[in-house]
Amino acid sequence: MLNIEGLNVYYGAIHALKDIHLHVSEGEIVTLIGANGAGKSTLLRTLSGLIKPRTGIIHFQGMAVQGQSPRNITMKGLIHCPEGRRIFANMSVEENLELGGFLQRDQKELRSDIENVYSTFPILAERKKQMAGTLSGGEQQMLAIGRSLMARPKLLLLDEPSMGLAPLLVKEIFKVIQTINAAGTTVMLVEQNAHQALKIADRAYVLETGKVVIEGEASELADSDEIKLAYLGGHI
């Protein structure tokens, strides 16, 4: 579904991503793990068109998308749920969802998509008229994911969905990611919580200072002494 070859991204003189090669197959959950500043979020922002790469190829479903506008990339079904939620705080829950479905011209289909989000996140149905900025952190994260689902993603890029959440909510969010994937959406997941990410992922890539340094089956990486020491607090 996604194939990246020789991707190089710069912030001015800073070489942020260095010759990245990776792929995501349809139906997978692939996670990117690494320390802060490793380039994980930069990679997602490049895939969604927010950052233009200097060199390299990004093929999505067989089409080159590098350098295209975020709108065009979104229309192809590559959807980015950004770090920090980025909800519209002064709009209601339902208005946020309606904005997420801006590509949908059929009002019945739009309504159906909103109801599907409510079935995935029942708490959002209870809060649908509430201003999004008054939601709890966990509810805001659910809204951010729900808004992304409104665009009917073929590949969903999730950036730090568990950040700042209580442990019980973290487990709930990871269960939802598995549910979304089981329903047919391929997922690329950026996570600081490597322990949980490796539990639900099929494969994983480890980034260090803008480079892929390790890749493999998630279960194998979870059992690796090197990974345990560097990212899992010495255990899993």
E strand or H helix that includes residue 176: helix 167-182
14-24 vs 29-33, strand pairing mode:
unpaired
Residues whose CB falls within 8 Å of the CB of residue 79, separated by 6 or more in sequence, listed in order: 48, 148, 151, 153, 155, 156, 157
- The Cα 100–Cα 93 span in angstroms is 11
The residues of the chain scoring below 50 in pLDDT are 235-236
pLDDT at 236: 41
The matching CATH number, chosen from 3.40.50.300, 3.40.630.30, 3.30.70.20, 2.130.10.10, for 2-231 is: 3.40.50.300
pLDDT at 235: 43
Domain ranges of the chain: 2-231
Structural tokens at position 124 = 């959002």
pLDDT at 168: 85
- The Cα 191–Cα 207 span in angstroms is 12
Distances (CA, A) of 210 to 15, 22, 103, 111, 129: 8, 13, 33, 41, 42
Its pTM stands at 0.91
Write the pLDDT tens digit of every residue in 72-105: 999 999 999 988 778 999 999 999 999 998 888 8
E strand or H helix that includes residue 213: strand 211-217
pLDDT at 232: 64
